[in-house]
A and B are shown apart, each in its own frame.
Chain A
Amino acid sequence: MARAVTNNRKALNTAIAWSIGLVIFFPILWTILTSFKTEAQAISNPPVFLFFDWTLENYAVVQERSNYMRFLWNSVFIAGGSTILGLIIAVPAAWSMAFVPSRRTKDILLWMLSTKMLPAVGVLYPIYLLFIKMGLLDTRLGLTIVLMLINLPIIIWMLYTYFKEIPGEILEAARMDGASLPKEIIYVLTPMAVPGIASTLLLNFILAWNEAFWTLNLTAAKAAPLTAFIASYSSPEGLFYAKLSAASTMAIAPILIMGWFSQKQLVRGLTFGAVK
Chain B
Amino acid sequence: MATQQSRSAARLMMAPAVILLLGWMLVPLTMTLWFSFRKYLPLRGGDLGWAGFDNYTRFIGSSAFWPSVQATLVIVGGVLIITIVLGIILALLLDQPMWGQGIVRILVIAPFFVMPTVSALVWKNMFMDPVNGLFAYVWKFFGATPVEWLSQASMQSIVMIVSWQWLPFATLILLTAVQSLDSEQLEAAEMDGASFMSRFWYLILPHLARAITIVVLIQTIFLLSIFAEIFVTTGGAFGTKTLSYLIFQRVLESQNVGLGSAGGVYAIILANIVAIFLMRIVGKNLDA
Contact of A121 among B14, B214, B248 (CB under 8 A): B248
Q: Judging by beta carbons under 8 Å apart, are B2 and A230 in contact? A: no
What 0/1 pattern do residues 218 to 249 of B give for CB contact below 8 A with A? Answer: 10010011011001110000000000100110
Contact A122 B164 (CB under 8 A): no
Q: With A and B bound together, what is the CA distance between A134 and B108 in angstroms?
A: 43
Nearest B residue to A214, CB-CB: B227
A118–B244 CA distance with the chains assembled, in angstroms: 12
Chain B residues within an 8 Å CB radius of A251: 115, 118
Contacts A10-B99, A216-B228, A263-B109; is A126 near B283 (CB within 8 Å)? Answer: no
A34 to B126, CA, bound (A): 9
CA gap between A31 and B7 in the complex, in Å = 54
Does B118 lie within 8 Å of A100, measured CB to CB?
no
Residue B13 is within 8 A (CB to CB) of chain A in the complex: yes
The answer for the CA separation of A93 and B10 in the assembled complex, in Å, is 8
Given A100-B6, A248-B118, is A231 in contact with B21 using a C-beta cutoff of 8 Å? no
> B55: CB under 8 A from chain A?
no
Contact for A260 among B28, B99, B106, B251, CB less than 8 A = B106
Question: Contact between B21 and A259 (Cβ–Cβ < 8 Å)?
Answer: no
Q: Which residues in B have their C-beta under 8 angstroms from that of A14?
A: 98-100
The chain A residue sitting closest to B221, CB to CB, is A117
**Interface size class of chain A, counting residues whose CB lies under 8 Å from the partner chain:** 35 or more
Instruction: Decide yes or no whether B272 CB sits under 8 A from chain A.
Output: yes
How many Å from the CB of B31 to the closest CB on chain A?
Answer: 4
Indicate whether A186 reaches chain B with its CB closer than 8 angstroms: no
Q: Considering the chains assembled together, what is the distance between the CA atoms of A102 and B14 in angstroms?
A: 12
Q: Is A124 an interface residue (CB 8 A)?
A: yes
Task: Render A162-205 as a binary contact track against B, CB cut-off 8 A, 1 for contact.
Answer: 00000000000001000001000000000000000000000000
Interchain CB contact under 8 A, B121 and A119: no
Task: Report the stretch among A54-62, A103-111, A136-144 that lies at the interface.
Answer: A103-111
Chain B residues with CB below 8 A from A258, complex form: 113
Whole-angstrom distance between the Cβ of B43 and the nearest chain A Cβ: 13
Residue numbers of A with Cβ under 8 A of B are 6, 9-11, 13-14, 16-18, 20-22, 24-25, 27-28, 30-31, 34, 43, 45-47, 89-90, 92-93, 95-97, 99-100, 102, 106, 108-110, 112-115, 117-130, 149, 152-153, 156, 175, 181, 206, 209-210, 212-213, 216-217, 226-228, 230-231, 233-234, 239, 241, 244-245, 248, 251-252, 255-256, 258-260, 263, 266-267, 270-276
Binding site for A on B (CB under 8 A): 2, 6-7, 9-11, 13-14, 16-18, 20-21, 24-25, 27-29, 31-32, 35, 90, 93-94, 96-101, 103-119, 121-127, 132, 134, 137, 140-141, 164, 167-169, 172-173, 176-177, 210-211, 214, 218, 221, 224-225, 227-228, 231-233, 244, 247-248, 251-252, 257, 260-261, 264-265, 267-268, 270-272, 274-275, 278-279, 281-283, 285-287
A-B contact pairs, 15 of them (CB 8 A): A20-B93, A92-B14, A93-B17, A110-B282, A122-B247, A122-B265, A125-B252, A126-B28, A128-B252, A149-B20, A212-B228, A231-B121, A231-B231, A233-B121, A252-B114
